[in-house]
């Protein structure tokens, strides 16, 4: 498979310009977090509602789970989730953003289609694996990314898979934003775990490595690179003017 990284507009050098050292101030006042009992309930509910009990449990990965899997898997294959698409559609005031400069995180939102990876999870200790996964994917109440069983198409037919989809009832749901608006945010926002630009570059790069090109993300990475370069020129011009 040809290496397409050289044709990316967004580069590690761009990401370095956005990066800042941010001190995590913790959970904001008034935010309610999921408890261990809440996570246990979510795990039991999803296992109880498994569409095909006894069959392998599959996880649909479309973003950071591709380049930073949280749990082990015994097999993987390409799959298409129809009726869902990648979207930077919820605001983040922590992790990859701050209250003063919120970021945007990608989720699986309704409409369109999405090519991603299907991971087959080991049968051993499924409850423990899902508990670990859920603690990574959602922390606040109500959850932003909700676990849900969806149908994914593969080369061997359709299969149920667990996915994390956007909860449109969440107060952090940003709705459908233009790529230009998203790019402006990702070109600036950074939190204590990194920037939105870094997240985007990692996602696009690892999708390309697997032969998956999301047209919206490909266009978005070019827009983010343009925004970062424009912001850099503006800063330089201001420094020259004030010298």
On whether the CB atoms of residues 203 and 217 are closer than 8 A, the answer is: yes
On whether the CB atoms of residues 220 and 200 are closer than 8 A, the answer is: yes
Burial (0-12, 13-18, 19+ Cβ within 10 Å), 128: exposed
Give me the catalytic one of 76, 137, 153, 229: 137
Buried b (16+ CB within 10 A) or exposed e, 172-189: bebeeeeeeebbbbbbbb
User: Is 137 labeled as catalytic in the residue annotation?
Assistant: yes
What is the C-alpha separation between 131 and 133, in angstroms, rounded? 5
Residues classed as catalytic: 137
């Amino acid at each position: 498979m040809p290496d397409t990284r050289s044709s990316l507009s967004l580069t590690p050098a761009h990401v370095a310009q956005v990066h800042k050292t941010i001190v995590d101030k913790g959970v904001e006042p008034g935010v309610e977090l999921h408890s261990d009992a809440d996570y246990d309930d979510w795990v039991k509910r999803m296992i109880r509602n498994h569409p095909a009990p006894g069959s392998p449990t599959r996880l649909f990965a479309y973003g950071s789970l591709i380049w930073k899997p949280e749990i082990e898997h015994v097999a993987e294959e390409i799959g298409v989730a129809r009726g869902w698409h990648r979207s930077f559609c919820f605001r983040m005031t922590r992790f990859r953003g701050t209250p003063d400069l919120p970021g945007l995180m990608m989720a699986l939102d309704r409409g369109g289609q999405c090519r991603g990876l299907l991971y087959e999870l080991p049968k051993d200790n499924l409850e423990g694996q899902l508990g670990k996964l859920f603690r990574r994917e959602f922390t606040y109440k109500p959850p932003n990314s909700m676990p849900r069983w969806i149908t994914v198409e593969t080369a061997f037919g359709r299969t149920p898979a667990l996915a994390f989809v956007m909860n449109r009832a969440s107060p952090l749901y940003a709705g459908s934003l233009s790529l230009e608006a998203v790019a402006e945010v990702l070109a600036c926002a950074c939190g204590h775990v990194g920037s939105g630009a870094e997240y985007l570059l990692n996602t696009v790069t690892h999708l390309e490595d697997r032969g998956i090109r999301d047209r919206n993300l490909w266009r978005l990475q070019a827009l983010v690179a343009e925004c970062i370069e424009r912001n850099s020129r503006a800063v330089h011009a201001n420094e020259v003017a004030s010298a």
